[in-house]
């Protein structure tokens, strides 16, 4: 991490650098909600705040600001919510047509996966996002012991134990079927 490099070189963290580092910390830890939140992350955030940055402005700009199009897209995506009969897997999807109708882009889906992930009992949340016709970006998030990076890697992707992704060719139904089969096998082995 840049923070460690600056300290290793006995460098100075300016307010501008502190802003960038703080932004990275709160986005990568999901505002200190994700499993990668460690005491070191709090220490880094604290040091950045001591540089006089406006932590409220940064957090609000990232987490509390949306365009009308983004909220309209979110409503459409939430309409696609499906939860497995066991209640352990929740999926949502977004298509190119949804992007067109709401005048939004893939960037507007940032953190959409947190909604199915927040459902009580859900162990794996999956967002299927159409990049191109017959090509889907698949984002996986885990709540418990399941390593979703293994699932993503099996499709040529990667990531971390609790957050991973991959890109798969096929129709939405084909891609969903492949991914749900892989997730189902992993859940049974826990």
pLDDT tens digits, 102-143: 999 999 998 899 999 999 999 999 999 999 999 999 999 998
Residues across the chain:
190
Q: For 106, which DSSP code?
A: G
Q: Which domains, ranges and CATH numbers included, belong to the chain?
A: 2-63 (no CATH), 68-188 (3.10.310.30)
- Checking if the pLDDT of 149 tops 60, the result is yes
Question: Given this model, what pLDDT does residue 181 score?
Answer: 96
What per-residue confidence (pLDDT) applies to 36? 85
The whole-number pLDDT of residue 189 equals: 58
Mean pLDDT over 67-88 rounds to: 96
Task: Provide the pLDDT for residue 133.
Answer: 95
Q: What would the DSSP string read from start to end of 107-143?
A: GGGTTTTHHHHTSTT--EEEEEEEEETTEEEEEEEES
pLDDT at 83: 97
Q: How much of the chain exceeds pLDDT 90, in percent?
A: 81
Phi-psi region of 179 (alpha: psi -120 to 50; beta: other; left: phi over 0): alpha
Query: If you average pLDDT over every residue of the chain, what do you get?
Result: 93
pLDDT higher than threshold 80 for residue 64: no
Determine the average pLDDT of the residues in 40-56: 95
Q: Measure Cα distances from 129 to 44, 167, 179 in Å.
A: 33, 9, 13
Taking residues 36-50, report their average pLDDT.
Answer: 94
Between CA 163 and CA 156, with CA 38 as vertex, the angle to 5 degrees is 20
pLDDT value at position 145? 79
Query: Is pLDDT at 188 greater than 80 in this prediction?
Result: no
Q: What is the mean pLDDT of residues 157-167?
A: 95
């Amino acid at each position: 991490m840049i923070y460690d490099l600056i300290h290793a070189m006995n460098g100075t963290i300016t307010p501008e650098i502190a802003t960038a580092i703080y932004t990275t910390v709160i986005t990568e830890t999901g505002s200190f909600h994700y499993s990668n939140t460690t005491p070191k992350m709090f220490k880094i955030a604290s040091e950045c705040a001591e540089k006089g940055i406006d932590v409220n402005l940064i957090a609000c700009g990232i987490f509390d600001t949306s365009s009308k199009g983004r909220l309209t897209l979110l409503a459409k995506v939430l309409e696609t919510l499906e939860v497995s009969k066991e209640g352990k897997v929740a999926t949502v999807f977004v298509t190119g047509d949804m992007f067109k109708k709401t005048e939004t882009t893939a960037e507007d889906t940032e953190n959409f996966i947190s909604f199915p992930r927040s459902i009580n009992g859900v162990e794996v949340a999956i967002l299927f996002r159409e990049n191109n016709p017959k090509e889907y970006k698949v984002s996986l998030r885990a709540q418990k012991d399941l390593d979703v990076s293994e699932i993503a890697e099996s499709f040529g992707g990667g990531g971390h134990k609790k957050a991973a992704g991959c890109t798969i060719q096929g129709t939405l139904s084909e891609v969903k079927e492949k991914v749900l089969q892989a997730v189902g096998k992993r859940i049974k082995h826990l």
